[in-house]
Structure 1
Amino acid sequence: MTLINSLVAYKGKSARIADIVASKFELVFADGSSLKVREKDFRFIHPEFTQINDECPLADFAVLADFQEETLSLQEITEWLFDEFSAQTAWCTCLLVEDGLRFYWQKDLVFVRPTAQVESVQAKRDSEKRAAESLAHCVDNLAKNTFDEQDEPYLKEIARVALNQSKTAKILSHIGVENSPDSAYQLLLKIKYFAPSFNPYPARFDIPKDEEIAVEVPSIERVDLTHLSSYAIDNEGSDDADDAISIEGEKLWVHVADVANIVPSGSDLDEYAQQRGSNFYLPDAIIHMLPTSLTAASALGASDKSDALSFSFEFDGKNINNIEVMQSVISVTNTTYEKVDEMLQVNSNADLTKIKAIGEAHKKFRDSSGSINLHLPNVDVKFVDGKASVAPQASSSSRDLVAEMMVMAGRTMAQFTSDNLIPVPYALQDEGDFSEEFLAKKDTLTLSESFLAIKNFKRSATSVKPLLHYGLGLPAYLRVTSPMRRYYDLLAHQQIVNFIADKPMLPVSRVKEIIGTVNMALASVGRVSRFSDDHFKYVFLMQNPQWTGTGVVVDIRGDKALFMMPEIGMMTQIKFKNLPKLDEEMQLQVSRVSLVDKSANFKVV
């Protein structure tokens, strides 16, 4: 059979064989173009070429029921479908095979798909069609900065990119938006899928959420200290006190919730806490290091009697003496900073007045030992009932009293653990690079001097060695007063409790390993806390677009002045022709806020 003037298919197009030279076939296409190809490059359709088109008669697919999973020639399947084998009907069969729904090629033969396979292929095509229509619908909506319920699957994909839970969302490429967390977040803010109040940072850093886990409190023998007047001083409304203070003659007591009794070293709850490292205090939420059920079981003052790990010691103006440590039961009076301030003002509580005097003496000792507190302004950022607030942190005699008692407890237990060779995670800070001139006026620094001194401090660290804590002015320091909230405090408690109970303690090598693990968790805690605070500061400014407040010049950088705004705990740079002086105050007003860039601009008013 001669192949000249036959109908063939080449890459989906019909063609006529015009000539054969050696092993090359000259194909002529409908548009008059020609091409020389090898025989394996085209498919034979019909021996007689005629002008054909893609408009095909209805095929009788019912006949295929008798040929499921059989292989037929193109001519045979054409005759069954169209009752004749012409160039046109053969071409129509070729198109059906190329379509792939009911048939597919097996070399030059045609395989007839079984009905179930046809239905599966059709279902897949229908699904892909719906997906394409849905994608086009969402793309169109996003171009109009809107969305509807149908777009939800695509918006969830974008949200996963915005929250750093996925690298790509297909639709972002379709609309020309970069597959990055900030770009995705900006888009979702723009279309109002994310409200400005939504905090993306816990999810971006994969912070574990709270879990409800039942806890049991083991019953152990405790020293009865209920005769002491023990005060847990906290903010109004707080119900999770983890420390209390007492005085008995010259003996000071610091009582701390005995969390280690519920969370022993190596337990499942211990691993749970290690992964978190610390409570997250965010403006819109608290993410707890331990299950919230543990708070109810161990918070001081939650019941008439509270389990505690109690430290007693005496202070002679310089040294900590006569340290005792015991697992105790105490009776706690829960009170507030405001109420204690009132008592201290009128000396109506002899215990608290005496504790305050001892705390002041200890602070004086630390000052003489080189402690440095720059007293830079700090703010509390809150988001409650849809409203962001930023306010300077409160300071008062009662807060100073509690803070110094906690420092004394940390100094005391650093001394106790060091003397008894208990492996624990000490907090340390090497000596800073401060001039004698600076140290001579460290208690009377201006705001700019305090700010510029930050760079002279060495970074604080955690070590199994009881080394200097320069900023506190102490030879060694151990965090021990917040085992419900900070893992290093809990680890210290576990080791101390095992020591006094004559049980095995973790070796130094294991404590070092834990420090490495917890430091990684705490790095996320720090970043998420900072980013979340900044986020809600910007939300506050968006909710108060005319905000005006005092800015203090704390540094000069070229032709720009760096301002600190103590009221909101923020910094900004402003360009000047005539630069202001350090510590000069000016009124600043917000002029631009960006949640995505985590930035705000201010102007002088």
Structure 2
Amino acid sequence: MASCQTGALLCYHGKSAVVVSVSGDKIEIRTEGGNTKSVRPKDVEWIHPGPVRELPPSVLETPGLEEFLELIGEETLPFGEFAELLYSASTPAAFWSAYLLLNEGLWFTGSVGSGVKARPRAEIDAALNAAREKAESRERYNTLLERIRKNALRPEDRPFLCEVEELARGKSQNCRILRDLDIEATPEKAHQLLLRLGVWSLLEDPLPVRAGMDMENPSFELPPPPAEERTDWTGMVSLAIDNSFSGDPDDAVGFADGLLWVHVADPASVVTSGSEADLFAARAGENLYLPEKTVHMLPLSATERFGLGLQETNPAISFGIRIGDDGRPVLEKLLLSTVKVERLTYETARERMDRSPLAEIQTALARFREYRLRNGALLIRMPEVHLFLQDGNVCVEPVELTAERELVANAMLAAGAAAADFAVEKDIPMPFAAQSPVEERPGGDTLSAMHALRRACPPGCVIPTPAPHSGLGLPAYIRVTSPLRRYVDLLAHQQLRRYLRGEALLTGGELEERFLSAEKEGMFRRKLERQVNEYWTLVWLAQHPDWTGNAVAVNRAGESTTLLIEELAYEFKSRACVHAAMDEVLPVRLVSVDPAMLTAHFSILR
């Protein structure tokens, strides 16, 4: 068969080709696409001496193979004889058809050069069954794709969409179904498809898992509290004031002997440096607060044991702070204590603001607030909301800035400022929170001015040496009031406990080794919280498709205007209001929303 004559039929890389010319040890061929190329004889399979008049040759109908198998039995036939006997012809089409049948591998084995032999009957049956199952599987798959295109899934289709769900959760990077539907294989597109098909509801939030977040709370046991001396402050009226939905009360306020007292939960009494709980919390950085769930950095038992007001009495670290006439907070007393705490919401605290101890605390903190403002503190007032799920619905509640909230916020800042000055005075290395000043401070108190001010603020950082926190208007600051939910606070408490016990302190470098990774993870979690809150805001809009409301123009870049929907604390960009003045209120209507893609479109109502 190795005829080198012009017009001979051969196979090159699985496709038919014809010999155009022969020159020495090279053959010029023309392939099915009409291209010519020079090849070596060993690179081709010779099929038929030709002449070939068309490429590819016609494929003949295969005759009944059962009789043919009986005819040849176990005999090995030369390829040419095999082709002629099978198709009763010696044409290029007959030889090409025989070649294709041989290469299917179902009925025969061998090659053009070595001859052809029928496969054993058992092998043929197994191969035919496998081919049949493969064809049926392909048909079922194509039918599934068609149902997906028509949004007509059946219950039995659900298991086949697991690969789409894995992509939506970020567990895989490829998805055959999306590829065959000509849909870009991204987690967002997979999520979008699952929502369209009704496989997932809007209440399925894949963002945390997609970000690699372990959504389970730690469950290891904490050791029993150490035997240590504590000051009994159970006779002091101590109030833990927080949101009604807060579940981890780690600070409380009181007033005695002219001092503002800030009592803080003391998990550091059992979460010691290098312990399992400490290492886990350092990796977590801080609690993750999502509308659907809170993921804690410490076991839930830590909150149950140390959350102020959750037990009859609680161990605490207490900061006794004197706020002088100039408003500067000075830490006069730092001690381990036992406190009895009453929990209040901001709403119930409002009824007691003119009574002791809140009246005295409010007076002292008014001086502290003025002290901060004199030092350039930035008071950024932007809308805030609380998102939560209830009975399958997303709920949005405004978070209003009230005197009670401001009292608690300033009390915590006073504790951090006083602790920082104390650490500097006593030469205690600590994780100091710092922020550089705004280079150019926008003026005004409108929403657009607040928006510009927020964008102008440099990011804060944690460093092992004292430095000003310009945004807070403080010469030095340490976060010390949230050790149940933020690792840097817990680390500060561990260091303060070393000081109180007269033990060797961690150096600045040792502190930095501990807080750098925690801060990095904390930043990641805060970014995730913003993304998840955006997702649930868009779900709220999807649950209110006829929503209309007002949006305020707060920024403009070129022809794009940033609009803020205050009731949702949600921003979006529009090119339809380029002539709107800053802080102009515009009526808007929801046009479409796509939570999977984190997008919503609004029209401006004129």
Bin the TM-score by the shorter chain. 0.7 to 0.9
Deviation, 1:266, is 2.1
Find the counterpart in structure 2 of residue 264 from structure 1. Answer: 272
**DSSP 3-state at the match of 1:394:** coil
C-alpha RMSD of matched pairs (Å): 4.4
Cα displacement string for residues 129-166 of structure 1 (whole angstroms, at most 9, x for unaligned residues): 45423421221111102323443344221222233332
The alignment's TM-score, normalised by the length of structure 1, stands at: 0.80
1:244 aligns with 2:252: yes
Inter-partner Cα distance in structure 2 for 1:276 and 1:127: 49
1:200 CA displacement: 2.6
Aligned to 1:466: 466
Equivalent position of 1:28 in the other structure = none
Q: 1:369 maps to which residue?
A: 375
Q: Assess, with a 3 A threshold, how the Cα gap between structure 1 residues 104 and 405 changes in structure 2: closer, same or farther.
A: farther
Is the counterpart of residue 288 in structure 1 residue 290 in structure 2? Answer: no
Give yes or no for the alignment of 1:338 onto 2:350. no
Give deviations 1:543-564, integer Å, cap 9, x for gaps: 2233233333334555665433
- Say whether 1:385 aligns with 2:391: yes
Distance 1:14 1:603 in 2: 63
SS of the residue corresponding to residue 289 of structure 1 reads coil
Determine the structure 1 residue equivalent to 2:91.
none
Moved more, 539-548 or 501-510: 501-510
**1:547 corresponds to which letter in structure 2?**
W
Matched, 1:195 2:204: no
Aligned partners of 2:535 and 2:598 also within 8 Å: no
Distance of 1:189 and 1:470 partners within structure 2: 45
User: 2:601 matched to 1:603?
Assistant: no
Please state how far the C-alpha of 1:468 moved relative to its aligned partner.
0.4
C-alpha distance in 2 between matches for 1:183 and 1:449: 37
Q: Which runs of 5+ in 1 are unaligned?
A: 26-35, 46-50, 77-81
The alpha-carbon deviation at position 391 of structure 1 amounts to: 3.0
Structure 1 stretch displaced more, 557-566 or 189-198: 557-566
Gaps of 5+ in 2: 28-38, 49-58, 89-94
Do structure 1's residue 140 and structure 2's residue 142 form an aligned pair?
no
User: Any residues of structure 2 matched to 1:95-106 within 5 Å, and which?
Assistant: 98-100=103-105, 104-105=109-110
Taking the aligned partners of 1:94 and 1:152, their CA distance within structure 2 comes to 42
> Cα distance, 1:362 vs. partner?
1.0
2:322 pairs with 1:321: no
Q: 1:9 to 1:598 in 2, by over 3 A?
A: same
> Which among 218, 223, 227 is matched to residue 230 of structure 2?
223
- Cα distance in 2 for partners of 1:152, 1:207 equals 25
Q: Does 1:304 align with 2:312?
A: yes
How far off is 1:118 after superposition?
8.3
Please list the CA deviations of residues 4-54 of structure 1 after superposition, one character each: whole Å capped at 9, or x if unmatched: 9xxx99659999xxxx999999xxxxxxxxxx9969955899xxxxx9963
Rounded Cα–Cα distance in structure 2 between residues aligned with 1:415 and 1:116 = 88
Match for residue 515 of structure 1? 515
Report the CA distance between 1:418 and its aligned residue: 2.8
The answer to whether 1:356 aligns with 2:357 is no
1:566 corresponding residue in structure 2: 566
| SS of equivalent to 2:190 | helix
Q: Is the 8 A contact 1:241 1:300 kept in 2?
A: yes
Superposed CA deviations along residues 534-583 of structure 1, whole A, max 9, x for unmatched, are 11222222222332333333345556654332222123455568934333
Question: For residues 538 and 3 of structure 1, what CA distance do their matches in structure 2 show?
Answer: 72
Choose from 199, 211, 214 the match for 2:217. 211
CA, structure 1 residues 54+510, in 2 after alignment: closer, same or farther (shift >3 Å)? farther
**Structure 2 residue 183 is the aligned partner of structure 1 residue 174:** no
CA–CA separation in structure 1 for the residues paired with 2:590 and 2:307: 42
Contact kept in structure 1, 2:552 and 2:564, CA below 8 Å = yes
Q: Is the 8 A contact 1:479 1:489 kept in 2?
A: yes
* Secondary structure of the corresponding residue to residue 147 of structure 1: coil
Paired with 2:207 and 2:487, the residues of 1 have a C-alpha distance of: 22
Q: Distance in 2 between matches of 1:380 and 1:520?
A: 25
| Contact 2:291–2:388 (8 Å) recurs in 1 | yes
Please state how far the C-alpha of 1:342 moved relative to its aligned partner: 0.3
Alpha-carbon distance in structure 2 between the residues aligned to 1:118 and 1:284 = 57
Partners of 2:519 and 2:125 lie apart in 1 by 56
Residue type of the alignment partner of 1:509: G
Q: Which residue identity lines up with residue 333 of structure 1 in the other structure?
A: E
Describe the SS at the equivalent of 1:343: coil
| 8 Å Cα contact 2:534-2:598 kept in structure 1 | no
2:424 is aligned to 418
Report the Cα distance in structure 1 between the residues aligned to 2:121 and 2:335, rounded to whole angstroms: 79
TM-score, with structure 2 as normaliser: 0.80
Cα separation, partners in 2 of 1:539 and 1:322, compared to 1, 3 Å = closer
Change (3 A) 1:453 1:211: closer
CA shift digits 1:295-317 (9 cap, x unpaired): 22321222212122222232223
Residue in 1 aligned with 2:64? 56
CA gap of 1:583–1:186, structure 2 versus 1, over 3 A, is same
CA distance in 2, matches of 1:509, 1:582: 47
- On the 8 A contact 2:207/2:532 being kept in 1, the answer is yes
Tell me the SS of whatever aligns to 2:499. Answer: helix
Instruction: Quote the offset at 1:396 in angstroms.
Output: 2.1
Task: Give the letter for the 1:414 counterpart.
Answer: A
Distance 1:247 1:118, change over 3 A: farther
- Describe the SS at the equivalent of 2:357: helix
Cα distance in 2, alignment partners of residues 577 and 299 from structure 1: 49
SS at match of 2:183: coil
Residue identity opposite 2:153 in structure 1: F
Q: Which deviations, in whole Å up to 9, do the C-alpha atoms of 1:281-337 show, x marking residues without a partner?
A: 222222222232332232122221212222223222344335333333222222222
Cα contact 1:538–1:600 (8 A) shared by 2: no
Q: Distance in 2 between matches of 1:375 and 1:2?
A: 87
Shift in Å, 1:184: 2.2
**Alignment counterpart, residue 273 of structure 1, candidates 274, 278, 281:** 281
**Structure 1, residues 480-501: CA drift from partner, whole Å, max 9, x if none?**
1111211211222222223323
